[in-house]
Amino acid sequence: MKFILKGNICYSRTAQELICLKGAYVVCEDGVSRGVFTKNSEIPEKYSSFPLTDCGDNMIIPGLCDLHIHAPQYAFRGLGMDMPLLGWLNSYAFPEEAKYADLNYADKAYDIFVEDLKRGATTRASIFASLHSPATLLLMEKLEKSGLITLVGKVNMDQNSPDYLREESAMASYESTKSWIEQTLGRFANTAPIITPRFIPTCSSELLYKLKDLQQEYKLPVQSHISESLEEIVWVSELHPGIGTYGEVYDKHGLFGGAGTPTIMAHCIYSAEIEENLLKERGIFIAHCPQSNTNLSSGIAPVRRFLDKNLKIGLGSDVAGGFSSSIFRAISDAIQVSKLRYCLVDKNDAALSEKEAFYLATKGGGSFFGKVGSFEEGYEFDALVIDDARIAGDFSLEERLARIIYLSDDSFIKGKYVRGGKVF
């Protein structure tokens, strides 16, 4: 847990400031970065005896953070990509998630999911499981062994869903969730529970209030979906007449951020100004999921506006609405859809730059987990060592990082560290 890596180091200080240093040194002490130094002679004496790993011409970047991914959907990724959200849920997502009532199926499927996540660029993730407590516990056990740092949610849904994937009542959902929390809270070093109402249409008011009770009792974070499609927003307004916005429904039930309720809301494509203001006021993190928003014909989130308003935002793969769990792919998708938004939707929303999208994938999303996503002094040490020799040429480090974002795959990753621990 005390070591120095030498290589070509790139990391973000802000969305506008990308630091790239050739042949630099980053110091890790007890899982925390002690800073980046351009020369060996600059390293403070108290760190100079730490073991040094020379990564040569490899790139060293912070680990990537996935703020929104569905583990039980990983098995059918790539299917139904020509369908809209609500139809896709009923045709693919719900039938697949029902299979996780079978622990043998869950065991095999989650082995594949966790191993692929481990080999990829993701170092931290906020994950939806299914509504099945035993399978969710099994997933957490596998993730703990992976060395990744994750939040995992047992999904809650007691209405407007198929009989085969609906909890018997709000009380049944509450009791099973409470039991699962008590089995998992504090049990793992790297994996923890997160309160997870699937989304407003599948959760009764009674259930939402009970989930808030659990959140307050156990001081847990919250994750859910919001304003993902126009059809969904109409549905929410019909279920909760008289409440102005989707976000205000969560807020009425005490599940919309604020002090003591760290919260991730995925999508926010159609958030009205009052909803955006509430997102900012409550310190809620937006999980921008460009690939799934495209695949499911949902729309293009106004990420430029979110950044200009200083909202908290990171990226999500949203598998299996997204077909790839690669956050590198999410970075490139975020850039591309922002260009389409500028061209086709709103000329006031300038496209994202590569450095801005890289920031969202690292420090932007990482800040949900604390001081994460950068090599600045005091940040937890999550890092990727990337061998880009197959695509490298006579380019600057910034250009090499851009090519990694667009052209790399898991085979480029030669080393992975999470909180100072070497994953591989």
| pLDDT interval class at 110 (50, 70, 90) | very high
Q: What is the pLDDT of residue 397?
A: 98
Q: Within the chain, what is the greatest distance between any pair of CA atoms?
A: 66
| pLDDT interval class at 31 (50, 70, 90) | very high
**pLDDT tens digits, residue range 187-202?**
999 999 999 999 999 9
**pLDDT tens digits, residue range 279-310?**
999 999 999 999 999 999 999 999 999 999 99
Mean pLDDT of 348-360: 97
| pLDDT interval class at 335 (50, 70, 90) | very high
Mean pLDDT of 242-265: 96
Q: What is the pLDDT of residue 360?
A: 98
Q: Is the distance from CB of 61 to CB of 354 less than 8 angstroms?
A: no
Question: What residue ranges in 82-185 does DSSP mark as E strands?
Answer: 122-128, 149-153, 155-156
Q: What is the pLDDT of residue 265?
A: 98
Is the pLDDT score of 257 beyond 90? yes
Q: What is the pLDDT of residue 392?
A: 87
Q: What is the pLDDT of residue 16?
A: 97
Q: What is the pLDDT of residue 235?
A: 97
Q: What is the pLDDT of residue 1?
A: 87
| pLDDT interval class at 240 (50, 70, 90) | very high
Distance (Å, rounded) from C-alpha 293 to C-alpha 296? 6
| pLDDT > 90: percent of the chain | 100
**pLDDT tens digits, residue range 87-99?**
999 999 999 999 9
Q: Spell out the domains of the chain, with CATH numbers in brackets.
A: 2-62+374-422 (2.30.40.10), 64-369 (3.20.20.140)
Tell me the two tokens of residue 145: 């062994």
Q: Is the distance from CB of 166 to CB of 157 less than 8 angstroms?
A: yes
| pLDDT interval class at 273 (50, 70, 90) | very high
Q: Is the distance from CB of 189 to CB of 143 less than 8 angstroms?
A: no
Which candidate, 200, 204, 150, places its Cα nearest to that of 173? Answer: 204
Q: What is the pLDDT of residue 400?
A: 98
Query: Quick count: other Cβ atoms within 10 Å of Cβ 179?
Result: 12
Q: Indicate the average pLDDT of the chain.
A: 97
Q: What is the pLDDT of residue 362?
A: 98
| pLDDT interval class at 216 (50, 70, 90) | very high
**pLDDT tens digits, residue range 137-183?**
999 999 999 999 999 999 999 999 999 999 999 999 999 999 999 99
